[in-house]
Chain A
Amino acid sequence: MRRRDFLQGVAVGALTFFFTTPLGSAPIVPTRPGTYPEDFNAYLKISADGRVSCLVGKVELGQGSMTVLAMLVAEELELDPAQVDMVLGDTDLCPWDMPTGGSLTMWHTAPVLRGAAAEARAVLLRMASKALGAPVSGLTLKDGAIWVKATPASRTTFGELVKGRKMERHLGKVKPKPLSDCTLIGRRVPRKDALAKVTGAAQYAGDLRLPGTLHACILRPPAQGLTLATADIAAAERVPGVRIVRDGPLLAVLHPQPDTARKALALVKGTFEGSEPDVDDVRIYQYLVDKAAPGQRVVISRGDVAAGEKRAATVVEAEYRNAYESHATLEPHTSVAKWEEGRMTVWASTQSPFVFRDTVAEALKLGQDKVRIIAQFVGGGFGGKLVGPGAIEAARIARQVPGVPIQVAWNREEDFFLDGYRPAAVVKIRSGLDAGRGAITFWDSTVAGVSQGEAELSYDMQSNRYQAPTVPNLHPLKVGAWRAPNAHTNAFARESQLDALAAKAGLDPVTLRRRLITDARLLRLLDLAVETFDWEPAPGPTGRGIGLACGAWRQGLVVAVAQVTVDKTTGKVKTERFLEAVDVGLVVNPDGARQQVEGAITMCIGQALSEEIHFKGGRILDKNFDTYLLPRFSAIPRIQVVFADNATSVSQGIGEPPVVPVAAALANAVFDATGARVTHVPFTPERVLEALKLVPAK
């Protein structure tokens, strides 16, 4: 294993500190935004009882960050991960960090943390060497104790070494342990959050029970684009215990009971002003294309596309679409805010504690040091909790009722209404294959609704042109980052298009890709996927219902193989089997990584087959899970995950890559089953029936 690559990114600093004070009593001086602190005090504390605490500005969304980060610290300090207390996402206690999203935790944070832990190990060993009068090379450590190898009775503990002192040490660069010495990395370890989550003890933002809490329900306009003009609050005010707070267009009904606050809100009569967008979930695609057209710019271009088209023997032109999709975290956005002594504290369901801090500070015109965000267990994120409009609402209300904790827990309807959706998009591709069926002679792609992010994969193309719009505010609805933004839209189009080219040229989908792929890693992964699936590819449609797609997110690569059955009378697609072969470099926590892949596949079965935001003007028609359809147990296939045994690179994140090729693999499988090409995500039964009508009769 080439460990060096992994260690390259490790930031090791000059100063190290031990704090022996109890957690929470010594706020760390905030480090400069945008940089990782160089002294490990910010990351590690060892208290007099020997407990090691690790403080990181990331949060536990369910992706297992709490466990994998503890593993890295435990590895260096020879502890069990259970012996490392994780303090996540508290902006007063934890050093500045980027949001938890975009698969950054393993890429950015992990190397820094490993460096910090390695440095702590070196400091502890030097202190022990002095205390025990033995050279560092003669010492060994385990479970918080350090002893002389030759005379085990001569021992000390982390706690004894740091007792009652605050120490500063100056060290040079310290390297983490070589991988060959690692005992945790690459092993299955129990999740640290398991007990709390199976007993109901895990605390989410809405579970906070601060004395005197008032629950705030906010008056919403009936449609996006409208804001509150006037409100008749007389009836609501008559409900005993109700308080009403207004701050500009924000009107909230407060009550000690959440359900009573909600009922009282229903008594408020509002009038609204502004204008709704004139578009709906059917016309949206033409709307995007038209609006984007004047701003289309070539963002990537190679060779002469017109000349390439002349050389093509097989040409396919198609348009691919995807609908707006919601994050639909099972826990809706929830925050509790309290304004006290000139400071705002917000306990939040958040992916980005520091972004929340900065935006709350900005909204309330406070200094950043006057706002503290404390992340709780987060009931799902997927990009939806990178921004915190709900936290800002809670803070604005709390500002008006000093000393009173204010909880803002959106209900499901609000969560659908206020979400920043995965953007709807249209991708048009015209491309061609040469007569020898071994080269893409031209590839001409234009998108509206997303960027051309991750549109390219390492396929050889003689000429290509990618266009994307530069039009601001293209979308009539609020959009946001949804797992692997842009990448899954573009992969769906690209991989469907390749499949269509292969079929039209009478080639099987694997052979065509083998001929085109220029990257050896992707080629190996393709072979691994095909081999593990145990599948003899043949030109489609074969009737077997097997489809393949490749995808990338940064350096992470994925090859997906899906098998489906299609009910031709109802149009219903059932996923029978789904495999992903994944290459994300060094896998620190294999079980955690596997979970992420299983989750991504499952989630994107919903994306591909059923999830769509329905709307008319600014009115969001989906109000609950009866029309917005998440995959349920009966939709879950047999899932297989294999990791490439790849010794060449650093750890890549795993949250995004496995999302990328799922819809494309399923669409290609539908084609293989039926000969019908579904080009509109989600391919609901109605859309599948439409596509089936276009299949030429045999």
Chain B
Amino acid sequence: MNATVSFTLNGQPVTVASPRDRMLVWVLRDELGLTGTKVGCEAGLCGACTVLVDFEAVPSCSTTLGDVAGKAVLTIEGLALDGHLNPVQKAFQEHHAFQCGYCTSGMIMAAWAFLKKRPKATRSEIVEAMEGNLCRCGAHVRILDAVESAGKAMGGVR
């Protein structure tokens, strides 16, 4: 049964007609054409689908459309402002913190949500924060380096 649900997507108001229990990831990818958010497990186990809902990182494969009614959703497409990469994106680019790139959107979103709160995080805190995101290519070391340096760039110099 379709419902009309409104929320903010990457700073813009949107209204979607879709069942309230439909998973957000399908709404994003299918209805709204934002395919930067990836699907890896559909069970909250890999983090490839991570987006921010009111600044909290959540798996969009396990978050319903109804859950985000009236909230602010941020996806990888909404991170860069006026063509300027966000500090986390920049760090991932510079450190080559990816190989196939399939985990990258989710990694960046999870890292951004975390660093916003804790730019001065230690390496082991970063490890803990990123533990829910899988990377099959083994880009982990560079991802940690990138997140650490993004934290510094965001003013969290330790």
Q: Using CB atoms and an 8 Å cutoff, list the residues of chain A in contact with chain B.
A: 61-64, 190-191, 193-204, 206-207, 209, 257-259, 328-332, 377-382, 409, 411-412, 591, 595, 598-603, 624-626, 630-634, 636, 639
Contact = CB atoms under 8 A, between A and B. Distances in A.
B8 to A, nearest CB: 18
B134 A625 contact: yes
Contact of B89 (A62, A198, A379): A198
B149 to A, nearest CB: 14
Interface string B22-38: 11001001100111111
Interface residues of B, number: 57
Contacts of B36: 199-201
B139 A412 contact: no
A330 B46 contact: yes
A191 B100 contact: no
B41 A380 contact: no
Nearest to A597: B138
Nearest to B42: A411
B136 to A, nearest CB: 4
Interface string B74-87: 01110110000100
A674 to B, nearest CB: 25
Contacts of A331: 38, 40, 100, 102
B33 A209 contact: yes
Contacts of B75: 200
- Tell me the interface secondary structure of chain B in the complex: loop
Contacts of A206: 35, 39
A194 B35 contact: no
B42 A599 contact: no
Contact of B23 (A209, A259, A636): A259
Interface of B: 22-23, 26, 29-30, 33-43, 45-46, 48, 75-77, 79-80, 85, 89-90, 92-93, 96, 98-105, 108, 126-128, 130-144
Nearest to B102: A379
Contacts of B76: 199-200
Given A198-B104, A331-B100, A631-B138, 18 more contacts: A197-B101, A197-B104, A198-B90, A198-B98, A200-B76, A201-B36, A202-B101, A206-B35, A259-B30, A329-B102, A330-B137, A380-B100, A412-B40, A412-B42, A595-B142, A631-B140, A633-B130, A634-B131
A600 B136 CA distance: 10
A602 B140 contact: yes
B138 A198 contact: no
Contact of A624 (B41, B127, B133, B138): B41
Can you list the 3 inter-chain pairs with the closest CB atoms, starting with the nearest?
A200-B36, A62-B100, A602-B138
B78 to A, nearest CB: 9
B100 A200 contact: no
A196 B103 CA distance: 13
A598 B101 contact: no
